[in-house]
Amino acid sequence: MLIRFQSYFLPACLAVLFVGILVGCSQYSSNPGSVAFHNITAKYNAYYIGRSELEAAERAMSKAYQDNYNQLLPILMPLDSTLGLQVKPQLENAIKKASIVAERHQNSKWLDNSYTLIGKARLYLGQYDDGVEALRYVFTNGRDEDDKNMALIWLMRAYTEKGDFSNALNVAEYLRQQPLSKEATRDFYLAKAAIHQRQGEYLTAVAILEQAFPLLKKNNTTARLHYIAGQLYDRIGQFALAADHYRDVSRNQPTYDLSFYAGMNSLQNKVLLNPKVDLTGVGFDKMLRDRKNSDLKDRIYYTMGLLAERQGRYPEALGYLRKSVQAAGANTGQIPYTYLELARINFDRLEKYEVANAYYDSALVSLPREAEQYKIVSDRKKALDEFVTQLNIINREDSLQTLALMNPAALDRKLDAIIESEEEEKQRLLKKAQEALANANRPSAADVGTPFLAGNERRWELYDPAMVNQAKVEFRRIWGNRPLEDNWRRSSKENNSFANSVAGTNSAQSTVEGVQTSSETGPSTLTKGSEEWLLRRDELRRNIPVGEAALASSQKREEDALYRLGKIYRFDLKEPAKAVATFNRLLNEYPQTAYREELYYLIYLSLNEQDKNRPLWKEKLMAEFPNSTYARLVSQTAIAQKNSDGQIPAGSATKAYESAYRLYETGSYQEALAQVESALVMYQGSPMADKFALLRIFLIGKTRGRDLYLQAINEFIRLYADSPLLPRVQEMLEMTGRASIRR
């Protein structure tokens, strides 16, 4: 009996003991033994593996990330989901392992760390909302203050990445008041500096970065941060302080590229601090001779070009920049930025607009869309396309009108000179094409296996978008805008570019369209006095605006082009001084232009507030066009109608519109018109402005006759080009024109 009792009692005791151990090790137990068990299990199993996977993924992403030294480097590596997808298995495994801690080890002290790890991994994968939720959970439910602070620092980074700077700064202000560990303090400074860098507050960013340097170890990351500090000081004009940080780069184990760019920027700062220094003697020549820099010569020449331009030596600057393009070879990363500088110098300094336009076009071909200049360059390119069109019209019509005033003998001599210039240009281009063909057919050792190069410093033209675009510009200058079709050289085609030829002779360049050819391979030379020569001269003469009607038509084209050119300067290219000069030229050459009232207004807007002539244009507008929309726009009556804080009361625009519309419905047109014209000044720039302007058109049509009605319609079209009501107004203009024809 005793033996039987023992056989049952022992297993029962073991079972009870096992259940007791399980209960004692529950993840919800606060028993010290249970907590210790889950701490050890969580740390050395799930969390350790998850952290190792995340660190491996971070190293891989850091290695794959390429800094663009043409841009201001970001203080912290961007949370780029493209990079995250390359290491997606590691990140997903890190999330999976860290989630085990949340599922099985709730009483572990590694729970907060695991949620932070999950949040970081999800941010790297581009799962922004899930990542932010995990980090917020740590802040709300975390038990360790250091862990909560680290989660908040990553939350700052998440907000910054999304451009939510308000929330990022709120988190930063909270953290600023917390006692932080050394590691957290370092990461906090870097995250805070990154916020201000993204906002363009470079002085604040570099000041915070300076506080982080004493907390950093000597390594490549610190070298990179010193380089960024130098860039930030450069942006605010503190070149001496920038040079100090560029020198510090070499003391912190930099990569070769980082060391190279820091050294070059240091040389650049020497020139900026001493503008009279010789570029070749300052150290650039030594860098060019260094064989280790053979694949970086394009960047050296680029920097030399920037410095030469800053010293006012524009031809030398263009020469260095062209060398940069030639030295690039198959390494095209630098080329779009070089094209941008070539475009800027040609546009801003030399006013060679067609050349600048070609370089902008070339830059857009290879400029990364995420580059900070891309949107600006794209907008300027679109504006320049229209700009060059209007400028060519002005030059063409101006030249044609000059020819129209010549006596027949002088005109024949001028036309002969134009034809001679055309023939010289054709022969020059033919010779250039033959030389290029000969060079292309002459193989060299450097050509083998290198399709991008013909020698060490020459890019094949068809692989160089700048050369291609320059060739396109030259083609248009010689042949005009020709469609892609057979027999495009034939002289019987309509000659639209003759006037460009006339305008170009003043600058030793001419434009030809309609050239006699001896074969399909190239143009033949015309002999002076021959039948072909005389036919060409007659063809050119037919384009000259002879007679009052033709001259008036030419003048109208020039007037419209000047008006459009001035607006492009003012609104697209943001060059008010050139806009004012263009508008003044239009008013001087065409004093009775239909654009007068708008020109007065635009000149008034474009002049600086301190300019003594600014009030004169306002007075001129008020005197000549007191009832125009533009006169109301410059009126100061709105100041008295606003609140004391200068803001328009919310909802008042809608109430004012409803009041005026009720008057319109009841037939009180004069009173309604007075209210609408007052409201247009009061609510200028509000979402209701176009509705007031449309109601004004109806009221003017009721009270002031057809001419002022048409004027109001045209003002609406010019002032509210983006309004959804524009199609309706254009239809009103079209219907009014039809009614006029029927009468």
pLDDT tens per residue across span 523-538: 556 777 777 888 887 7
Side-chain half-sphere exposure of 507, counting CA atoms within 13 A: 10
Residue 518: φ, ψ to 5°: -85, -20
Ramachandran quadrant class, 530 (left: phi over 0; alpha: psi -120 to 50; beta: rest): beta
Residues 353 and 392: their CA atoms lie apart, in Å, by 10
Alpha helices in 143-198, H assignment, sequence order: 145-161, 165-176, 182-198
| CATH number for position 589 | 1.25.40
Domain closes at, from 126, 143, 160: 143
| CATH number for position 736 | 1.25.40.10
Residue 468 in contact with residue 462, Cβ under 8 Å? yes
> Mean pLDDT across the chain, nearest whole number?
78
Containing structural domain, residue 473: 380-437+450-516+524-546
Residue 197 in contact with residue 216, Cβ under 8 Å? no
Residues 408 and 402: their CA atoms lie apart, in Å, by 13
SS3 483: coil
Residue 37 in contact with residue 25, Cβ under 8 Å? yes
pLDDT in tens, 376-393: 888 888 888 888 889 889
Q: Is residue 260 in some structural domain?
A: no
Do 396 and 502 reside in the same domain of the chain?
Answer: yes
Do 512 and 575 reside in the same domain of the chain?
Answer: no
Do 577 and 724 reside in the same domain of the chain?
Answer: no
pLDDT in tens, 13-52: 444 334 444 444 555 555 665 657 656 775 667 778 888 8
What pLDDT shows up at residue 446? Answer: 41
Report whether pLDDT(84) > 80: yes
Do 538 and 565 reside in the same domain of the chain?
Answer: no
Side-chain half-sphere exposure of 116, counting CA atoms within 13 A: 26
Domain closes at, from 143, 178, 209: 143
Q: Which of 315, 277, 503, 493 is nearest to 401 (CA)?
A: 503
Q: Is residue 565 in some structural domain?
A: yes
What pLDDT shows up at residue 534? Answer: 80
- Whose structure tokens read 């050139």? 578
What pLDDT shows up at residue 73? Answer: 92
Count of the separate structural domains present in the chain: 4
- Whose structure tokens read 């906002």? 199
Ramachandran quadrant class, 553 (left: phi over 0; alpha: psi -120 to 50; beta: rest): alpha
Distance of CA 292 to the CA centre of its chain: 33
Contacts of 205 (CB under 8 A, 6+ apart): 75, 193, 194, 196, 197, 232
Residues 622 and 601: their CA atoms lie apart, in Å, by 10
Domain closes at, from 124, 143, 162: 143
Q: Which helix (H) or strand (E) holds 82?
A: helix 81-86
The greatest distance separating any two alpha carbons of the chain, rounded to the nearest whole angstrom, comes to 146
Do 42 and 136 reside in the same domain of the chain?
Answer: yes
Q: Which of 581, 427, 431, 425 is nearest to 497 (CA)?
A: 425
pLDDT in tens, 693-737: 888 888 888 887 777 788 788 888 878 877 888 888 888 887 766
- Whose structure tokens read 């005389």? 534
Contacts of 585 (CB under 8 A, 6+ apart): 562
pLDDT in tens, 135-181: 998 888 888 888 899 999 999 999 999 888 989 999 999 998 889 99
Do 565 and 530 reside in the same domain of the chain?
Answer: no
Residue 232 in contact with residue 245, Cβ under 8 Å? no
- DSSP-assigned letter for residue 644: T
Residue 25 in contact with residue 33, Cβ under 8 Å? yes
Contacts of 664 (CB under 8 A, 6+ apart): 672, 695, 698, 699
Q: Which of 238, 213, 214, 235 is nearest to 226 (CA)?
A: 213
Q: Is residue 585 in some structural domain?
A: yes
Residues 146 and 182: their CA atoms lie apart, in Å, by 10
Do 63 and 100 reside in the same domain of the chain?
Answer: yes
Do 498 and 394 reside in the same domain of the chain?
Answer: yes
Q: Which of 470, 492, 471, 473 is nearest to 481 (CA)?
A: 473
Report whether pLDDT(12) > 80: no
By the 10 Å C-beta count (0-12 exposed, 13-18 middle, 19+ buried), 450 is classed as middle
Do 466 and 597 reside in the same domain of the chain?
Answer: no
Structure tokens at 109: 């002290």
- Whose structure tokens read 């063809």? 539
> Within 10 A of 237 (CB to CB), how many other CB atoms are there?
9
Residues 715 and 720: their CA atoms lie apart, in Å, by 8
Do 478 and 581 reside in the same domain of the chain?
Answer: no
Residues 129 and 660: their CA atoms lie apart, in Å, by 48
What is the total residue count of the chain? 743
CA distances from 511 to 466, 467, 473, 481, 537 (A): 21, 19, 11, 11, 14
Q: Is residue 708 in some structural domain?
A: yes
Q: Is residue 553 in some structural domain?
A: no
Q: Is residue 201 in some structural domain?
A: no
What pLDDT shows up at residue 637? Answer: 40
Structure tokens at 251: 């003391």
Residues 402 and 388: their CA atoms lie apart, in Å, by 21
> Within 10 A of 498 (CB to CB), how many other CB atoms are there?
25
- Whose structure tokens read 């030249």? 399
What pLDDT shows up at residue 371? Answer: 78
Rg (CA), the chain: 36
- Dihedral sign (CA 308, 311, 314, 316): negative
Report whether pLDDT(667) > 60: yes
Report whether pLDDT(344) > 80: yes
Residue 151 in contact with residue 111, Cβ under 8 Å? no
Contacts of 27 (CB under 8 A, 6+ apart): 34, 38, 104, 105, 106, 107, 108
CA distances from 470 to 351, 457, 474, 536 (A): 16, 19, 6, 27
- Dihedral sign (CA 462, 463, 469, 473): negative
pLDDT in tens, 194-216: 999 998 899 999 999 999 999 99
What pLDDT shows up at residue 471? Answer: 66
pLDDT in tens, 102-144: 777 665 667 778 888 899 899 999 899 999 998 998 888 888 8
Q: Cα-Cα-Cα-Cα dihedral of 719, 725, 726, 730, to 10°?
A: -120
Q: Which of 275, 337, 348, 349 is nearest to 308 (CA)?
A: 275
Q: Is residue 329 in some structural domain?
A: no
Q: How confident is the model at residue 74 (pLDDT cuts 50, 70, 90)?
A: very high
Q: Which of 404, 689, 376 is nearest to 551 (CA)?
A: 404
What pLDDT shows up at residue 19? Answer: 40
Q: Is residue 584 in some structural domain?
A: yes
What pLDDT shows up at residue 205? Answer: 92
CA distances from 328 to 314, 316, 460, 689, 716 (A): 21, 19, 12, 53, 51
- 680 versus 453: the higher-pLDDT residue is 680
Q: Which helix (H) or strand (E) holds 519?
A: strand 517-519
What pLDDT shows up at residue 33? Answer: 59
Do 384 and 505 reside in the same domain of the chain?
Answer: yes
SS3 522: strand
Do 572 and 540 reside in the same domain of the chain?
Answer: no
Long-range Cβ contact pairs of 126-133 (< 8 A, separation 24 or more): 126/79, 126/81, 126/84, 126/85, 128/158, 128/161, 128/162, 131/158, 132/158
Residues 633 and 619: their CA atoms lie apart, in Å, by 13
Residues 467 and 353: their CA atoms lie apart, in Å, by 16
Residues 504 and 493: their CA atoms lie apart, in Å, by 21
> Within 10 A of 325 (CB to CB), how many other CB atoms are there?
23
- Dihedral sign (CA 358, 360, 363, 368): negative
Residues 41 and 359: their CA atoms lie apart, in Å, by 63
